[in-house]
Structure 1
Amino acid sequence: MTARIALYVGGLLGPFGGGVVAAMLPELGGTYGISPGLAAGSMTAYLLPFAVVMLVSGNLGERWGVSRSIRWAYVGYALAALLGALAPTFWAFQGARALQGVANAFTTPLLLAKVAASTPRERLGRALGTMGSMQAIGQTTAPLVGGLAAESAWQLAFVGLAAVAAALALSPLPADPGTAAESSRRPSALGDAWRPVVLLAGGVCFVAWMSSAGLPFLVSLRLGDAFELSSGARGLVLTGYGIAGALAARLTGSAVDRLGERAVLITGLLLAAVVVGSIGVLPHLPLVLVAWAIAGVCGQLILVGINSTVLGGAGGGGGAISVVTAWRFLGMAAAPAAFTAAYRHDAALGFGIPASLLVLTIPVVAVFWPRGKRSEPAQAGRQRR
């Protein structure tokens, strides 16, 4: 496995581990003698520590050494996955899931920092788009793989995760840039969090993910209420978000390289507002499927635009992207509390509120988002053409 491929496969591992339990909740409940609803807490047990620890993990990883931190995080992830497979009680399983989330907090932002450090500025959008596609593939395939494993033994999925993490721990990584002296001068994690561009990017990421990528539960409710789809059929429709995002991620990265982060981000927010708002009123199932798939493409436009801004010089390195990514997942976690009551009152209102939040974010980006500086080599190349 080459160093570049190892970076991208590592990007897939995190969202895959987070979503692998989604399709095995009844089997988890049967193993531990609990309800599927209580078993669903295993997703929160992963995501909450993941998001909270990311507020500091990027900066800590840079101080300890990026490659060293990533490798030890893979080792910790592998051990936690094995603990999950062997856990004798549900609460032991929950603890293993929390440890997985903590370990993942030390891979996701540092892998993004590695991609940025090893990519020329004029190609950064495409590289981050590729990473985004791998994360979308992990998010989309996790329920499928977890469900297939659960047909025989759900523990097999966790054994597989442990094996992949162990292989990644032994795989090559690009060399760390900088020196120890440079690392000692890096700002603290709280310093990164309070930089204006990081606050802006984190806030936009929170609202955008709460109002788009955090809505699968709401789309699932709509599919059941309006079209009476079975759970399997609802799951199949929901995969359209990740599949479309994965297919479009590299193209959206190229758009960032050519048009700039700000323009791509505004485009993604506007289109996402249109398609998210439409899901609550569309009368035909194929139209809902198409709208949700387009939302996946918009998610990649937003994600690559934000990551490219933060990692391309305006925001900083691993510490900054760690903080922004934490706000991204906190936004996803906040979505059910924010929109479920409105949806129960009226479906159009339930989807209209997140659409409105996306629209309100656009003028904030238009006024305050840093205008990305295109690299001199890229400018020279365009002038020659």
Structure 2
Amino acid sequence: MTLTISRSQRTLVLALLCVASFAVVFNNLIITPILPEISEDFGVRVAVAGLLVTAYAIAGGVAAVFSGPFIDRLGRKPVVVAGMATLTVATALSALAPGFWALLGARALAGLGVACLTPAVFAAVGDYFSYEERGRAMSWVISANTSASIFGVPAGAVLSGVFSWRWTFVALAVVLVVFTWLLLTRLPKDAPRKLGEGGTGLAAIPRVLRDVPTTAALFSNYLSTSYWFVFATYMGAYFHDEFGLAKWALGGLTMTMGLGVLLGSNAGGRLADRVGKRPVILWTSLLCAVFIGLTTTAAVAMAASLGFLFLFAVAGGARFASSQAIMTEMSPGDRGTVMALNAAGQQFGIVTGSLVGGMALEAGGYGALGPTAAALALVSMAMYGRFVSERGARAGGLAEEPGV
């Protein structure tokens, strides 16, 4: 069900959801450039410091599984505000952490905040924008979170280099206080929604998972995150060891992928509104498989590898915008639960991708990363092609039959 509000209100809602999305991705990525300094400051090995990322992802993934029914029961605004407030507190605690384990606990708390915030944001997009324009709305939200990797994270890294990693968290906490206030005072209150049969609560989770197309779409999206991180986890090491890219320039890789996602999400979201979300997902999944496979197998020079990586990011951004849009129409009565399970799958996909990438690296070197990621991309595409139908908002059911 799409809520009826004025165009100006929808513009405001979209801007606020973009703000929330920016905050989430900033928190996801900010540890990467400051990890060496944290490791040195607390006297722990870099491999141990990497647990900060693992704790964040696992806490967020587990909590996201159970957050969905509360999003449907309490409404989007209370959960978005609570998630942002939790993220703010966790960021402040990170800045004040007296030791590594205290910082680890603060990052796990941040994961809990994101577990509430991410699915509630995407569910709200489904509430306020019709299915025919949802791809474009999703592209704006994704553009906001991509801008965090292009502009926000490098700025945080500079702040850490000039002062310390603690000041990066201090600055972020101040920004999050402002974001929390904006969401609390300007985001419209939730209107009544039609809930899934049987009401809300934890029973919504098995109810959603019993629907085969929804479960297949969730699994396909989990695989898409996994194949992304098969390569992204070891991207810096690959370009440094294979092409001699200087360590100071490795941040440019994140910017390259961010720009690709920014371009792809905007183009893909708009195209999906015109030709359908499902066809865009199928074709971009195939393109992801082709370009990531070529990145580590067919590039004879760094420029070629970067070019393939950029094209992979463009296709990945288009797929992400389209898949998020179609997920909001899967079991619309339990929209919050669906998006929470989707967010959980993305968190666990990060863990899976890094583990699978590590095994591929050990077994076949850097050259094995691309084909491994490509194989997962093809399985992800096959899941959509075989089991997932596109559901139109006006039709209230299946808009087209499954099958490629």
Do these two structures clear the TM 0.5 threshold for a shared fold by scoring above it?
yes
Please name the residue that 2:192 is paired with.
178
How many Å separate the matches in 1 of 2:360 and 2:194? 52
Please name the residue that 2:178 is paired with.
167
The worse-fitting range, judged by mean Cα deviation, of 51-60 and 337-346 is: 337-346
2:68 to 36, 40, 58: 58
Residues 299-310 of structure 1: pairs in structure 2 closer than 5 A: 299-310=316-327
How many Å separate the matches in 1 of 2:241 and 2:191? 53
Q: How large is the Cα RMSD of the aligned pairs?
A: 2.2
How many Å separate the matches in 1 of 2:171 and 2:100? 20
* Cα distance change on mapping 1:21 and 1:347 into 2, 3 Å: closer
Amino acid at match of 1:347: Y
Q: CA deviation at 1:205?
A: 0.9
How many Å separate the matches in 2 of 1:184 and 1:74? 30
How many Å separate the matches in 2 of 1:251 and 1:308? 14
Q: CA deviation at 1:32?
A: 1.5
The worse-fitting range, judged by mean Cα deviation, of 59-68 and 249-258 is: 59-68
Residues 1-385 of structure 1: pairs in structure 2 closer than 5 A: 2-151=12-161, 152-171=163-182, 172-178=186-192, 185-186=199-200, 188-281=204-297, 282-314=299-331, 316-344=334-362, 345-373=364-392, 375=394
Local SS of the residue matching 1:224: helix
Mapped contact 1:269–1:302 kept (Cα < 8 A): yes
Amino acid at match of 2:15: I
Mapped contact 2:217–2:384 kept (Cα < 8 A): no
The worse-fitting range, judged by mean Cα deviation, of 127-136 and 232-241 is: 232-241
Amino acid at match of 1:219: M
Size of the alignment, in residue pairs?
A: 376
Q: CA deviation at 1:182?
A: 7.7
How many Å separate the matches in 1 of 2:134 and 2:361? 39
Mapped contact 1:213–1:299 kept (Cα < 8 A): no
Local SS of the residue matching 1:317: helix
Q: CA deviation at 1:180?
A: 9.4
How many Å separate the matches in 1 of 2:197 and 2:92? 34
Q: CA offsets, 1:315-339, max 9 Å, x none?
A: 6411101101211221121112112
Q: CA offsets, 1:209-264, max 9 Å, x none?
A: 11125521232232122101122222212321111111332221111111111100
Q: CA offsets, 1:309-361, max 9 Å, x none?
A: 11135564111011012112211211121122322424332321221221233
Mapped contact 1:133–1:248 kept (Cα < 8 A): no
* Cα distance change on mapping 1:229 and 1:182 into 2, 3 Å: closer
Amino acid at match of 2:310: A
Q: CA offsets, 1:347-383, max 9 Å, x none?
A: 332321221221233333222111333747xxxxxxx
* Cα distance change on mapping 1:98 and 1:375 into 2, 3 Å: same
How many Å separate the matches in 2 of 1:10 and 1:159? 18
Mapped contact 1:16–1:141 kept (Cα < 8 A): no
Identity in percent: 21
Amino acid at match of 1:250: N
Q: Which runs of 5+ in 2 are unaligned?
A: 1-10, 396-404
Q: Which runs of 5+ in 1 are unaligned?
A: 377-385
Relative to the length of structure 1, the TM-score reads: 0.91
